[in-house]
Amino acid sequence: LANKTHRKSNTQIPIGSQQLGSEDLVIFGGPCALESEEQGLASALMLRDLGLEIMRASAFKPRSSPYSFQGLGVDGLHILKRIRERTGVLVETEVMDVRDVETAAELVDVIRIGARNMQNFDLLKEAGLVQTPVILKRGMANTIREFLLATEYILQGNPNVILCERGIRSFETAYRNTLDVGAIAVLKQETHLPVIADPSHSAGNKTLVPALSLAAVAAGADGLLIEVHPDPSVALSDGDQSLYPHQFMNLMGDLRKDASYD
Ligand code: PEP
Ligand code: MN
């Protein structure tokens, strides 16, 4: 179902006034985690000022340590909905549990299945039972073929799937994960589905985010998922890789310039 031979034209997914999978470059910016209603609202207003139409912010957090901030859970989904109502900014968030898919699909605009759950087949099937667009992130140790097979589970019932390359595990330790730029090009060749990249979880470090963003767009990415926090120094997760608002603003300017070259 994901293969280009299955469809004549590329799948396009409306995100506000933009079409993901067309010439539009769709940016999902926002904090790693939704930490409070105030932090989420401040983030949404900051993004709206920059012309963004959708905010990422995770209510459920898959943390390596059980002692780290685990997210606001279902309460967070309701907060995200209120933020959307108050600001007009659409919201995107991760789901980790089959029991939360239906609720999340009703309360937010785009749901995300994270790298750690790329082969959680029950979760994939559940995401196939709703029509809300789903960002499926590539597992950090999964091949492109496994990635595409995982999308097939969702595509059984939900055609609105967005693929996200977020970096894979390699021997390199200079950054958190290795952004597989080649995978973006391969996916654009193989599938009609929109392909986005997450330079933040690839880099693990805010200084590398602009370069990886531009590289992903050059390789054909239809959009980017980027962590930006009102104050990364106090972020409850992934502060090191989250951009300060002014850095994010500069990157948006660079991406617009890049887009106007063609
Ligand atoms: C995220 O985008 O919030 C996240 C946890 O990323 P990943 O699943 O790619 O590690
Ligand atoms: Mn994060």
pLDDT single digits (tens) 201-220 = 999 999 999 999 999 999 99
Cβ atoms 26, 54 nearer than 8 A: yes
CA of 112 to the centre of ligand 1 (A): 9
Does ligand 1 have an atom closer than 6 angstroms to the CB of 197?
no
What pLDDT, in 10s, does the model give residues 223-246? 999 999 999 999 999 999 999 999
- Name all domains of the chain by residue range, CATH numbers in brackets: 4-260 (3.20.20.70)
Q: Report the range of poorest mean pLDDT among 83-92, 153-162, 252-261.
A: 252-261
Token couple for 219: 């390789």
CA of 56 to the centre of ligand 2 (A): 10
What pLDDT shows up at residue 231? 98
The pLDDT confidence band at residue 49, using thresholds 50, 70 and 90, is very high
Does ligand 1 have an atom closer than 6 angstroms to the CB of 132?
no
Residue having the nearest C-alpha atom to atom 3 of ligand 1: 32
What pLDDT shows up at residue 259? 61
Chain centroid offset of residue 77 CA: 16
Q: Which of 137, 177, 196, 242 to mutate to test the pocket of ligand 1 (most atoms within 8 A of CB)?
A: 137
ipTM attached to this prediction:
0.99
- CB atoms within 5 A of ion ligand 2 belong to 32, 238
Q: Of the bound ligands, which one is closest to the alpha carbon of residue 204? A: 2
Does ligand 1 have an atom closer than 6 angstroms to the CB of 114?
yes
What whole-number distance in Å separates Cα of residue 180 and Cα of residue 187? 11
pLDDT score of 261 more than 60: no
What pLDDT shows up at residue 256? 86
pLDDT score of 195 more than 90: yes
Does ligand 1 have an atom closer than 6 angstroms to the CB of 137?
yes
In sequence order, which residues have a C-beta less than 8 Å from that of residue 253 and are 6 or more positions away? none
Q: Which of 34, 72, 94 to mutate to test the pocket of ligand 1 (most atoms within 8 A of CB)?
A: 94
Q: Of the bound ligands, which one is closest to the alpha carbon of residue 228? A: 2
CA of 215 to the centre of ligand 1 (A): 19
What pLDDT shows up at residue 8? 87
Residue having the nearest C-alpha atom to atom 10 of ligand 1: 115
State how far the alpha carbon of 29 is from the alpha carbons of 25, 122, 127, 155, in Å: 12, 28, 22, 26
Judging by DSSP bridges, how do beta strands 223-227 and 18-20 pair with one another? Answer: unpaired
In sequence order, which residues have a C-beta less than 8 Å from that of residue 221 and are 6 or more positions away? 25, 165, 184, 195, 196, 197
Q: How many beta carbons lie within 10 A of that of residue 49, not counting itself?
A: 10
